[in-house]
Structure 1
Amino acid sequence: MAEIVGIRFKRAGKVYYFDPSGIDLEVNEYVVAKTSRGLEMGQVVITPKQVLASEVDKPLKRVVRKAEPEDIQHARELEDKEREALVECAQLVKKLELPMKLISADYNLDDSRLTISFIAEKRIDFRELVRELADRLKTHVELRQIGPRDAAKLIGGFGRCGRPLCCRNFLSEFTPVAIKMAKEQNLPLNPMKISGVCGRLLCCLVYENEQYCAMKEKMPREGQPVSTPMGTASVIGGNPLKETVSVELESQAITELPLSKITIDKKPSPKPKGKPMPKGKRLS
C-alpha cells in the first residue's frame, strides 16, 4: 500500500498526488511540496489516504512541510515580482518583434525558476528572449506556449451566462467539445452564440449533452405519424427538456402534447414489389 495526498497549486487547477511524508494534513491546508519546478506551495484538496501501490504510476514526490506564515507571505510578495517580470518580458518581446501575447508569469516558491505562459498563432523562436530575460532577472526562465482555452482559464472573465468562466471557477481539466453536441441540443449553429471568450466551443455544451441524447431517443422523429387523444397526427417538432411533442393534426391544427399522451404508430415496412422469381432459376 502507498499513502498519497492530493494537492492543487492553481485555482481550479489539476490535482497532483504526493507522498504526505507522514504529515497529518487536512483539506484546505497549505503545504510546501517538491515538484519538477522546485519548491511550490499548494493547497490540500484530498486528505492522505491509502491506495494500492500498483495504482501509483511512478515514485511520488514528497510534501516537504506544512506552509509557515513566512511561506504564505513570501508567496504574496512573489505576485508583485511576477507582474514586474511580465513588464520586463513585454519590453523584450516588443524589442525583438516577436508575434506573441504574454498571459501570465509564475515563480516557484524559492525564486529559482520563472515560467511565462504565452499564446501565439504559430511556433515562436524565443531563445534570444529567454537569454535576455534570464540575464535581466537572474533566474532560470521557461517559456510555455498554451492554447486559447488555457489562456482563458489563466486570465478569467465572464461567460455568456453572466457567470464567471467555468474553466476559471471549477473545471480542473478540459473535456473535448464537438459541434454535434450543439446540434443534439437544437442550438443555433452560429459561432457567436455557441463559442466562449476563448473562441472555442462552449465547455458547457458537454454538461447536458448526455441527458439530451437520452431524452431524444424517447422522442418521435419529425414527420413520423403518431396517435393522440385528438386523433392521428404528424410530428413537426419536440422539446426534449419538457418532454413534449409538437404535432399537426389531420385538421391542420398544431398543438403541443406531453410525450406520455403520444403513441408512436409502428407501421410494418412495405414488402418490395416485383414478380416472384420462378423456382429453380438463379441469378447468374
Structure 2
Amino acid sequence: MFVLPVRFERSPRLHPMLSEAPHAVGAKVVVQGKRGPEVATVRGEAGSPLASERYGSVLRAATPEDLQRWEDLHRTGEDLKWLLRARARERNLPVKLVAVEFTLDESLVTVSYSADERIELTSLIGELRSHTRARVNFAAIGPREQAQMLGTLGACGRENCSSTHLQDFAPVSIRMARDQQLPLNPEKLSGPCGRLLCCLQFEHTQYLDLLKNLPRKNAKVCHDGSGACGKVTKLHPLTGTVDVVTDQGMMLGVPAGELRRAPEGDPKAGPERAPKPPRSRDADA
C-alpha cells in the first residue's frame, strides 16, 4: 500500500490517501473522502503508511467519464448556487452562499455558507429538492474558509495564502504586528477576509530573534560615539538600528551595538530600567 497526498479543488490542504498503486504527481484520481467519492489531484510522491494514522482511500484513477461527470456536477452546483442566492434575497435571509458541491455519485450536496448570526435555512431545501434528489448538508464556514474557497488577491498582488499553500489556519495576533514594528492600521493589517493577515506569522520568530539584540522602545540609552543620551523612539530589527531622540531634541539613527544604557546616577536617565529583550506573547486574534 502507498500513501498519496491529494488536493481537492477548493482547498490547498493536502489529504493523505491510501492507494494500492502509485499515481503520478498531477494525476486525477477518485477518492473516498468524508463526504463520499470525489475527484482530487495527486500533489506529491507516494510514501509509506503509518500505523497510527487514519487515511481515506484512492478508489481508482479518474476516467474520462469521471472527469466529464465531475465537470457537469460542478456546473450544476454553480447554477444552484446562484439560484439559492436569488431565493435568499427574495426571503431577506442575511446569508452568503459560497459554494454548492456534489459528490461524484450525486448522493450528497454540500451547501457552504457564511452568516454573521445563527440562521435557519430549511426554506431553501425545497428549492434544492426540485433540482436534485441528493441529500442536503448545510455547512457554516468562517471568513478565512470563505476566502480560501473563493480565492482572492492579497495586498502583495498575489493570490491569498489560504487558497494557495496554507495547510492550517494558525493563530495570528496583533502582537506579531507590534513585534515587526508595523503601523497598527486595521486596513493594512487585515486580509480580504477581514481578519489579521496570515502572513504576519511567517517571519515572527525571526523578528523575535532580531529584537533580542535591540533595546526596548522608550528605554534611556547613551551613544558611545557622540556621548549623547536620550530615549529610544523606534526600532529597526532588519537593519539592527534604532532611532534615538537625544535630551537636546536631536534625532539619531544609530546601530544598536553602539548604544549602552544610560548611567543610573544620571538625573537625565529618569526611572527607566535597563533595556531587556521583548517577551513573546502570542494570543489568538
TM-score (normalised: structure 1): 0.83
Distance 2:187 2:246 in 1: 37
Other-structure match for 2:3: 4
Q: Shift of the alpha carbon at 1:262?
A: 3.1
Candidates 246, 253, 257, aligned match of 2:254? 257
232-241 or 200-209, larger mean C-alpha shift: 232-241
Other-structure match for 1:26: 24
Supply the RMSD in Å over aligned alpha carbons.
2.3
Report the 3-state secondary structure (helix = DSSP H, G, I; strand = E; otherwise coil) of the residue aligned with 1:79: helix
Candidates 151, 156, 162, aligned match of 1:167? 162
Cα separation, partners in 2 of 1:38 and 1:209, compared to 1, 3 Å: same
Report the residue type matching 2:226 in the other structure: M
Other-structure match for 2:238: 241
Distance 1:73 1:261 in 2: 68
Other-structure match for 1:231: 227
Gaps of 5+ in 1: 269-284
Q: Shift of the alpha carbon at 1:263?
A: 4.0
Distance 2:225 2:82 in 1: 71
Gaps of 5+ in 2: 266-285
Report the 3-state secondary structure (helix = DSSP H, G, I; strand = E; otherwise coil) of the residue aligned with 1:48: coil
**Residue deviations 1:234-270, cap 9 Å, x none?**
34232111111223456654321223333446859xx
Report the 3-state secondary structure (helix = DSSP H, G, I; strand = E; otherwise coil) of the residue aligned with 1:87: helix
Report the identity percentage. 32
Report the residue type matching 2:12 in the other structure: G
Pick 1 or 2: higher relative contact order, CA cutoff 8 A, min separation 6.
2
230-239 or 179-188, larger mean C-alpha shift: 230-239
Report the residue type matching 2:30 in the other structure: V
Larger Rg: 1
TM-score (normalised: structure 2): 0.83
Distance 2:92 2:178 in 1: 42
The aligned runs of 1:184-195 (5 Å cut-off) are 184-195=179-190
Report the residue type matching 1:229 in the other structure: G
Establish whether residue 43 from structure 1 lines up as the match of residue 41 from structure 2.
Answer: yes
Candidates 134, 138, 151, aligned match of 2:133? 138
Cα separation, partners in 2 of 1:198 and 1:114, compared to 1, 3 Å: same
Question: What is the total number of aligned residue pairs between the two structures?
Answer: 263
Distance 1:195 1:75 in 2: 35
Distance 2:169 2:263 in 1: 42
Distance 1:262 1:51 in 2: 55
Report the residue type matching 1:179 in the other structure: I
Distance 1:132 1:73 in 2: 25
217-226 or 199-208, larger mean C-alpha shift: 217-226
Cα separation, partners in 2 of 1:110 and 1:258, compared to 1, 3 Å: same
Q: Shift of the alpha carbon at 1:33?
A: 0.8
Report the residue type matching 1:7 in the other structure: V
4-13 or 246-255, larger mean C-alpha shift: 246-255
**Residue deviations 1:183-239, cap 9 Å, x none?**
222222222221112111111211222222221121012332234222243342321
| Contact kept? 1:220, 1:235, Cα under 8 Å | no
Cα separation, partners in 2 of 1:138 and 1:51, compared to 1, 3 Å: closer
